[in-house]
């Protein structure tokens, strides 16, 4: 059984930890609002871009369509772009994205496909290198970035397009976590290459004229759309990370409080027992005299 001194030290240690987790929860809550606004403000642009692509793709033939839209005609080599956070202490946020990518990679390998992995974020790299270290061909580090800007996503998008132009893969899939609420983040897989044109909505099913031609416009628009999708995924990840971190730190703070109560109860009981024992010894000694 621990001594009173040991219990007192442990209580003080848990209280210090509780202060840290409470502070981290408050910081995450402050950052969450800004991150959520950024993620939600990026969605309309990404959706409108997808709508324009869907309309334009209906007016282009197979030969005129850009290679980023049609692909190589094969699906032998797959590139998985796995976007996670740079830091932990956010519950199962990072592991859920890595699990989705791992399951997809395992499925492709079982089908005889070649898999290559690009990790964006330290935690994704740490999780995947245990099983697929030889498959990781590129690693992007964003630890120095205080806030995610479009130029970060544009650099990743250009790197993906460069690898595709060099013939290093046939299909590219982006993995990230879509922010739904503070307690809910949905691991999502989105195909980047060949570009998914999607469906034309009835409201936007109108006739358009493109200058100079649809193929040239798509040739400029699709690379931009890849960067936009990566940017949107990074913003969704930041919001999801802050939500998961706030929830995790709230749970840690409450667990620390429960542990402090249990340790304090044990300390008081042990102290009371020690005082009772000393009183009994004093009374027994007095009676002996």
Distances (CA, A) of 87 to 58, 80, 110, 125, 141: 43, 21, 32, 11, 11
| 288 backbone φψ class: left, alpha, beta (φ>0; ψ -120 to 50) | alpha
Q: Considering only CA atoms, which of 175, 41, 197 is closest in space to residue 119?
A: 175
Report, as residue numbers or ranges, the catalytic residues. 90
User: Where does the chain show beta strands of DSSP type E?
Assistant: 77-83, 114-120, 136-140, 171-181, 184-193
Q: In whole angstroms, what is the distance from residue 115 CA to residue 137 CA?
A: 10
Question: Bridge-partner residues for 213, per DSSP?
Answer: none
| DSSP conformation class of 59 | T
Distances (CA, A) of 61 to 75, 196, 201: 21, 15, 20
Integer-rounded Cα Rg, in Å, for the chain is 28
**Neighbouring residues of 74: CB distance < 8 A, sequence distance ≥ 6:** 170
């Amino acid at each position: 059984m621990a001594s009173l001194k040991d219990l007192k030290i442990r209580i003080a240690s848990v209280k210090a930890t509780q202060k840290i987790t409470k502070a981290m929860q408050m910081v995450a809550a402050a950052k969450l609002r800004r991150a959520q606004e950024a993620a939600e403000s990026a969605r309309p642009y990404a959706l409108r871009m997808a709508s324009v692509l869907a309309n334009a793709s209906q007016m282009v033939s197979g030969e005129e369509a850009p290679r980023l839209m049609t692909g190589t005609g094969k699906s032998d080599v797959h590139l998985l772009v796995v976007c996670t956070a740079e830091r932990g202490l956010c519950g199962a946020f990072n592991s859920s994205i890595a699990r989705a990518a791992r399951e997809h990679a395992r499925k492709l390998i079982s089908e005889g496909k070649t898999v290559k992995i690009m990790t964006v974020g330290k935690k994704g790299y740490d999780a995947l290198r245990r099983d697929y270290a030889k498959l990781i061909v590129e690693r992007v580090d964003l630890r120095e970035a205080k806030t995610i800007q479009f130029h970060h996503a544009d650099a990743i998008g250009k790197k993906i397009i460069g690898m595709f132009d060099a013939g290093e893969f046939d299909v590219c899939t982006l993995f990230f976590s879509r922010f739904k609420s503070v307690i809910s983040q949905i691991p999502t897989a989105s195909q980047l290459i060949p570009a998914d044109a999607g469906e034309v909505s009835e409201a936007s099913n109108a006739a358009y004229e493109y200058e100079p031609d649809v193929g040239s416009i798509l040739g400029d628009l699709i690379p931009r759309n890849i960067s936009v999708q990566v940017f949107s995924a990074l913003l969704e990840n930041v919001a999801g990370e802050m939500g998961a971190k706030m929830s995790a730190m709230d749970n840690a703070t409450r667990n620390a409080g429960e542990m402090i109560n249990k340790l304090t109860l044990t300390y008081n009981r042990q102290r009371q027992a020690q005082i009772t024992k000393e009183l009994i010894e004093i009374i027994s000694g007095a009676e002996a005299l």
